[in-house]
A and B are shown apart, each in its own frame.
Chain A
Amino acid sequence: MTTTQTTATPATQKLGIATTLALIFLLFSGLIFSAEDVVQGSTVRIMYVHVPSIWVAYLAFALTAICSAVYLSNRSRSLIWDRFAGAAAEIGVLFVAVSLVTGSLWGRLTWGTFWVWDARLTSTAFLFITYVGYLAVRRLGGTFRQRARRSAVMALLAVLEIPLVHFSVNLWRTLHQKASIADPNAKVKLDGFMLFTLFWGLISFTMLFVWLLIHRQRLMALEDAVQDQGLDLAIQQRRTEAGR
């Protein structure tokens, strides 16, 4: 092929530029423009990455579940749903990891330890492990349709598993802090600009997610196409064995 293959289109290029600008603004807004917290000081700035990360992770895993369900219920069994499910899960695993790391850094600064066996932390760790398992199942090999069916079933099982784990962990540990914005005990008072920065983070991370998702899906489509072309070639070769 002579032309350079790219997964970008004019639309995603514009989205990419917008996302970059939004993230640069978040950087300034979060690190410089926004005020320190009265109690937590600069530590509070971790929140501008931490909260959007876990938001993107939830968004991604929800999308994985929806796409898997659509794949299984759709008669045509279009592989695009499988690719969106897989792409979303990969990005979700990345962002849940970011939120775990930023969360434990924040915990070190605030609570003095990297980890506490709090219900939310524990079930988030399980969320991470569950989708690492899902990604491993996606790589088991086989044909596209085998991969798609197997991983769609796994994704739906994960949807089932997560509330069960979450519920039991919650029953187990219900004594720690609630969500910061809602809970006055967490001693974070967000002023207007801090709140704006947080929402700006949510928006720009969501843009980043959409941008990554589209590119990853297109890349997967190209990978599948390469394998498909490889199959055409392999069939040709196979036929020459028969002398035709």
Chain B
Amino acid sequence: METVVELSGVVAVLSSFPALAGIDLAVQRGEIVLLHGPNGAGKTSVLRVCAGLLPIERGEGSVMGVNLRTQRESVRERVGLLGHSNGLYLELTVAQNVAFWASAVGASSQEVALAMQQMKIDGRLADIKASQLSAGQRRRCALASLMVRRASLWLLDEPHAGLDTAGQDEFDAILRTAVNSGATVIFASHETQRSRSLATRVIRVEGGLISGGES
């Protein structure tokens, strides 16, 4: 099996606080890994390290064969990150937001149409400014923007937050499709009931370390 993410003894620092205190993690291609744990455990930091956003202070890490210490910038084009914030431009409409992300990464208009259709933000919602959307609708818009990225590693922070049950189902289906076509997913969540059924592996993060796991 192909190892997509490999972290060993990774320490990552936010200002002077060690968000990750020497974490070891290996994720194989095709896995859907759930990270759960208390607030401030370091789940978000794991995702940001894997996305090449947060530099590694100590230890070693690689994502898809790219060394996170020396060339973390070059890992970014192959990962898709959905953080706490949605990465939307609040003064643009839904359609303009998705279209911008599509043109920034060179996706076609068919892909845009498909993503918007799948996240059910086409039609009436498309011409509404992002600032006027509900939290769940913004999340849908962000997910549609993420879908046009065609990432091979999906890093999702609370992807279900704000979505209604139908939206969560739709999103889970999209994730499974992506994984079937060769993608890998790491996601952080509290909502363990739904999340556990989606995940192929569950890992507990606590105090900036992996404190337990099950397959």
Q: How many A-B residue pairs have CB under 8 A?
A: 51
Is B99 in contact with chain A by the CB < 8 A criterion? no
Is B94 in contact with chain A by the CB < 8 A criterion? no
Neighbouring B residues of A176 by C-beta, 8 Å: none
The reply to whether B207 and A234 contact each other, CB–CB distance below 8 Å, is: no
Bound CA span A227–B18, Å: 12
The reply to whether B57 and A143 contact each other, CB–CB distance below 8 Å, is: yes
Is B30 in contact with chain A by the CB < 8 A criterion? no
Binds A, one of B9-17, B103-111, B143-151: B9-17
Please judge, given known A-B contacts A238-B18, A238-B21, A239-B21, whether A143 and B207 are in contact too, CB under 8 Å. no
The reply to whether A146 and B55 contact each other, CB–CB distance below 8 Å, is: yes
Neighbouring A residues of B157 by C-beta, 8 Å: none
Bound CA span A228–B55, Å: 16
The reply to whether B22 and A239 contact each other, CB–CB distance below 8 Å, is: yes
Interface majority SS on A: helix, strand, loop or mixed?
helix
Size band of the interface chain A makes with B: 10 to 19
Bound CA span A145–B56, Å: 10
The reply to whether A239 and B13 contact each other, CB–CB distance below 8 Å, is: no
Please judge, given known A-B contacts A239-B208, A241-B207, A242-B209, whether A141 and B13 are in contact too, CB under 8 Å. no
Neighbouring B residues of A171 by C-beta, 8 Å: none
The reply to whether B13 and A241 contact each other, CB–CB distance below 8 Å, is: no
A242 to chain B, nearest CB (A): 3
Bound CA span A142–B11, Å: 15
The reply to whether A235 and B18 contact each other, CB–CB distance below 8 Å, is: yes
Q: List 29 A-B contacts (CB under 8 A).
A: A141-B15, A143-B13, A143-B55, A143-B57, A146-B55, A227-B16, A230-B16, A231-B11, A231-B13, A231-B16, A231-B57, A234-B17, A234-B18, A235-B18, A235-B208, A238-B21, A238-B207, A239-B208, A239-B209, A240-B207, A241-B41, A241-B206, A241-B208, A242-B21, A242-B208, A243-B206, A243-B207, A244-B207, A244-B209
Ranked 9 nearest A-B pairs via Cβ = A241-B207, A242-B207, A238-B21, A242-B206, A242-B211, A242-B209, A238-B208, A235-B21, A235-B18
